[in-house]
């Protein structure tokens, strides 16, 4: 099949990959409905995909991965820069030449007997100055069909690249034998290249997602003066029609998708407040013509965790899955050919097909504590399906960012919300993002896991240089920089009960954040930042739940706990980062000194 581009850089690279992997056939993905329908039909005929109930779930497909291939594999993920220092202490590193010499024999002839699909795609709206082009070659129809949902895929992606540019990200993927012992997800930031082998699962093989949109893009952003962050983007529309855009970063299991698709409480909707989703996972941000920071969602879909998603916990996410979605490793109700997962409802199907393919009585199976759906089972859903998708979703210029939020899961130390004193202090706050472990499966409960900017697995270079880049961006933006906040929805009382209702009621905190950005509400200056006056968090409708006593607990700053926090941050900087080759900007150590001095007063 003829190439879709005249660009010699693309064609040369694809020819090299064809020579290396030796596929029987090469298919360039143009993105046309006819081509995609033929691929879906082929995947259904081979059993790679299963057709869901087309009356209830039109256009929806089901896919099952190998039981050894169900999640991202951080221990098999590498950043290969010329020096180990370039990758820093948060990444696995190998010399690029050494890595390629190890990978090359694995790729040699790996596509014999298979078809190679060449996928051109754009991260970000076609024509956007913030968008970037990738080309992924793969031997998986699953990858093609998912990339169609997750990116702007097809010949039109080449519009952004043109006929001469070499600025595209090369992605080589083969599922090979899906051998976990030979599974590698490798980023070469200095040559804009990603290699993935022996996986056929989601984030390991949809190379536009974490591999490009965060690991490679964070490195590009450092060099080109922009930011690639693991952040949702939402717009809060006020009753007068004005919309304020907020980005937010949270470690996993901290309610990120819920916040991205938040439905405000009745008290707010009755006044005319609305929340619009621009992105649920990744933000690319660049200074605009007016000097403010503008954000796009580089993705075109949602790759969401299914278990726990239901009409109450996240109505909008669930609604997004109802057409043209792909379900991976969930359970199937055999009677209705509809998807099911733990937390969808309280009625597991009697005639169930569990995620590995066995037919079981779902009621008896779950009663024994078995899971019908894999805990990391997924849906890939088009963003356009989301009932609250923003009208600015495809705006090539992006949306102006008023506020940035960091958050984690902390039982005692961190108040419900506080504002940093300035951008440098906010960068420190981001570097200090951490969560206490929740599930026994991850080992001990309550252990602090550091996850700076919620980016620990996704920073494509030295974490200290990444923090320095944040500080540089603050200097570029100056007084037009977004205000930075920290939230904690997970504070508990002495009996271990959560004291903030969370979910839609988080709108009340967003309301305060916006008022702070507008300068219409005052705050209490504390050693750690600006904290709300209790009366300025609107509790209309939840007065019985969030009493004045509870609000005092939510906003309390325990000096002793914070002194311990600062001590832990010094240990983290010194032992986990600096001692292992991370460069820590002096400005962040200065922030530690200042907070400590204020606490000691």
Could you list the active site residues? 254
Two structure tokens written together for 285: 């941000």
Assign 29 to helix, strand or coil: coil
Residue 398's nearest CA partner among 476, 285, 477 is 285
Instruction: Report the distance separating Cα 396 and Cα 475, nearest Å.
Output: 25
Helical (H) or strand (E) element with 510: helix 507-518
CB contact set of 496 (below 8 Å; sequence gap of 6+): none
- Residues contacting residue 483 through CB under 8 Å, at least 6 positions apart: 402, 403, 404, 419, 420, 426, 513, 516, 517
Closest alpha carbon to 187 in 76, 108, 272, 266: 76
CA distance 315 to 387: 9
Residue with tokens 């691929």: 39
Q: CB burial class (10 A; 0-12, 13-18, 19+) of residue 391?
A: exposed
**Integer Cα distance of 245 and 234 in angstroms:** 6
Which two tokens mark 392?
Answer: 């600015």
Please, what is the Cα angle at 50 between 49 and 52, to 5 degrees? Answer: 135
CA 578 – CA 593 distance, rounded (Å): 17
Residue 31, phi-psi category: left (phi > 0), alpha (psi -120 to 50), beta (remainder):
left
Alpha carbon dihedral 144, 147, 149, 155, in 10-degree steps, equals -80
Q: CA 436 → CA 13, 252, 413, 414, distances in Å? A: 45, 11, 11, 12
Scored b (16 or more CB within 10 A) or e, 198-228 reads bbbbbbbbbbbbbbbbbbbbbbbbbeeebbb
> In this structure, what token pair is assigned to residue 212?
């490009």
Please state, in angstroms and as integers, the Cα–Cα distance from residue 59 to each residue in 29, 55, 63, 324, following that order: 19, 9, 13, 4
Judge whether 565 and 455 are in contact, CB under 8 Å. no
């Amino acid at each position: 099949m003829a190439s879709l581009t005249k660009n010699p850089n693309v064609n040369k690279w694809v020819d090299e990959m064809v020579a290396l992997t030796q596929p029987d056939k090469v298919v360039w993905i143009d993105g046309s409905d006819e081509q995609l329908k033929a691929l879906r039909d082929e995947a259904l005929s081979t059993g790679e995909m299963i057709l869901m109930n087309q009356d209830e779930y039109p256009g929806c497909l089901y896919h099952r991965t190998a039981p050894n291939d169900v999640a991202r594999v951080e221990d098999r993920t590498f950043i290969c820069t010329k020096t180990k220092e370039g990758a820093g202490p948060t990444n696995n590193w190998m010399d690029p030449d050494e890595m390629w010499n190890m990978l090359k024999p694995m790729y040699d002839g790996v596509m014999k007997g298979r078809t190679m699909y060449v996928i051109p795609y754009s991260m970000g709206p076609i024509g956007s100055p913030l968008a970037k082009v990738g080309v992924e070659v793969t031997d998986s129809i699953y990858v093609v069909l998912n990339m169609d949902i997750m990116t702007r895929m097809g010949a039109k992606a080449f519009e952004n690249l043109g006929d001469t540019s070499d600025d595209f990200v090369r992605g080589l993927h083969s599922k090979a034998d899906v051998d976990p012992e030979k599974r590698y997800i490798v980023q070469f930031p200095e040559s804009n290249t990603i290699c993935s082998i022996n996986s056929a699962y989601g984030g390991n093989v949809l190379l536009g997602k974490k591999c490009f949109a965060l690991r490679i893009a964070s490195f590009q952003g450092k060099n080109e003066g922009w930011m690639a962050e693991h952040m949702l983007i939402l717009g809060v529309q006020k009753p007068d029609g004005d919309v304020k855009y907020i980005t937010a970063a949270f470690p996993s299991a901290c309610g990120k998708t819920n916040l991205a698709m938040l439905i405000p409480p009745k008290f707010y909707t009755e006044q005319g407040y609305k929340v619009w989703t621009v992105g649920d996972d990744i933000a690319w941000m660049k200074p605009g013509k007016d000097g403010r920071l503008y954000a796009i969602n580089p993705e075109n879909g949602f790759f969401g965790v299914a278990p726990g998603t239901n009409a109450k916990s996240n109505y909008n996410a669930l609604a997004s899955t109802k057409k043209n979605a792909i379900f991976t490793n969930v359970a199937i109700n055999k009677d209705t050919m509809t998807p099911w997962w733990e937390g969808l409802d309280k009625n597991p199907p009697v005639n169930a097909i569990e995620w590995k393919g066995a037919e079981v009585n779902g009621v008896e199976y779950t009663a024994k504590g078995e899971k019908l759906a894999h805990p990391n089972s997924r849906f890939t859903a088009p963003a356009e399906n989301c009932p609250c998708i923003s009208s600015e979703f495809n705006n090539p210029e992006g949306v102006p960012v008023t506020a940035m939020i960091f958050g984690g899961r902390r039982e005692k130390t961190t108040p419900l919300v506080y504002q940093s004193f300035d951008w440098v202090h906010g960068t420190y706050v981001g570097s200090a993002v951490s969560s206490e472990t929740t599930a026994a499966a991850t080992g001990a409960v309550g252990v602090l896991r550091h996850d700076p900017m919620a980016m620990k697995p996704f920073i494509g270079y030295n974490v200290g240089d990444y923090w320095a880049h944040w500080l540089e961006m603050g200097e570029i933006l100056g007084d037009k920089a977004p205000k930075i906040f920290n939230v904690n929805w997970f504070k508990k009382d002495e009996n271990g009960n959560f004291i903030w209702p969370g979910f839609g009621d988080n709108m009340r905190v967003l309301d305060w954040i916006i008022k702070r950005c507008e300068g219409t509400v005052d705050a209490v200056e504390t050693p750690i930042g600006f904290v709300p006056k209790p009366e300025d968090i609107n509790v209309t409708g939840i007065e019985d739940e969030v009493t004045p006593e509870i609000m005092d607990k939510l906003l309390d700053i325990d000096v002793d706990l914070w002194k311990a926090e600062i001590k832990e941050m010094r240990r983290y900087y010194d032992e986990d980062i600096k001692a292992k080759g991370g460069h820590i900007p002096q400005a962040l150590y200065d922030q530690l000194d200042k907070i400590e001095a204020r606490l000691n007063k």
